[in-house]
Amino acid sequence: MEAFTILAQEADKAAAAASSAGFAYGLAAIGPGIGIGYLVGKSVEAMARQPEAAGMVRTTMFLGIAFTEALALIGFVVFILIGL
Amino acid sequence: MTTSDMSTSELDDNPIEVRISLDMVKRGIYVAPLIIAVAAMPWGGPGALSAAFALGLVFVNFLLAAALVSGAAKISTALVMAATLFGYLIRLGLILVAFLLVRDASWISRPALGATIIVSHIGLLVWELKYVAISLAHAGLKPARP
């Protein structure tokens, strides 16, 4: 009986770690999602206003997307280190 | 042909995002042995293999992002918005799936994998800033010195 209790407690701990890791990953993806949406929205607006500057805008947009995505990757790393 | 038509067709033929991504991947391949060796020092063989796997993930992530954005830009500027946001979700999902596939493998070192993903992603981006020209004359990469 005691073995079952210990087993259940360990399972609870593992489940809590997995769910909190998933929660952290989800939270970490929200901020960059908003950031990328804002960044691309403004870039599309800039390209529509000034099509001849599209190359320059797309350069900064692409780098901006990659930098913003680094935040989500940090969340992913926290997820793989503490969870699953 | 107007100025905007010329720039658009030039961008379609040789997309900026693809050029930048390929340049980053090229630099990543140059430094890959160093990164793998550094990861092998504290984490051993699994650290080296995990670092190599993480570098592969980062390269694929860059190339996929470039392909999605440039492919969408060829069709319509408005589609860039959708392609970027859904591309972001798809790429995060792909990274997660790639990790879930190998998480129980004996050769995986999670700290090495995580550290390499962050360091290589941010490091390659910062390094690339040196070679990117933010100008109307040379959009994308700076021209090579004669």
* Cα–Cα dist A45/B70, whole Å: 17
B132 SS3 class? strand
The two structure tokens encoding residue A60: 């900064």
For position B123, what pLDDT does the model report?
94
CA B146 to chain A, closest CA, distance in angstroms equals 23
The two structure tokens encoding residue B136: 């109307």
Contact A65 B88 (CB under 8 A): yes
Q: Could you read off the pLDDT tens digit of each residue along chain B, which spans 146 residues?
A: 444 444 556 666 778 889 999 999 999 999 999 999 999 999 888 999 999 999 999 999 999 999 999 999 888 888 888 888 888 889 988 988 998 898 888 888 889 999 999 999 999 999 988 888 877 777 777 777 76
For position B60, what pLDDT does the model report?
94
Contact A44 B139 (CB under 8 A): no
Chain B residues touching A72 at Cβ < 8 A: 88, 92
B90 touches chain A (CB under 8 A): no
Set out the domains of chain A in order of their start, with CATH numbers. 11-83 (1.20.20.10)
Which ipTM score applies to this complex?
0.82
Residues in chain B: 146
Contact B133, B139 (CB under 8 A): yes
* Cα–Cα dist B67/B72, whole Å: 8
A48 touches chain B (CB under 8 A): yes
Q: Are strands B132-133 and B140-141 parallel, antiparallel or unpaired?
A: antiparallel
Which residue is listed with tokens 């997660």? B96
Q: Where is A9: in which H helix or E strand?
A: helix A2-49
For position B125, what pLDDT does the model report?
92
Contact A44 B4 (CB under 8 A): no
Q: Would you say residue A63 has pLDDT above 80? A: yes
Which residue from A48, A55, A60 is facing B77, i.e. has the nearest CB?
Answer: A48
A35 → chain B, closest CA residue: B85
The two structure tokens encoding residue B69: 């954005």
Q: What is the mean pLDDT of chain A?
A: 85
A27 touches chain B (CB under 8 A): no
> Taking the model in full, what pTM does it have?
0.84
A21 touches chain B (CB under 8 A): no
For position B10, what pLDDT does the model report?
62
In Å, what is the CA distance from B115 to each residue of A55, B31, B111, B137? 33, 15, 6, 37
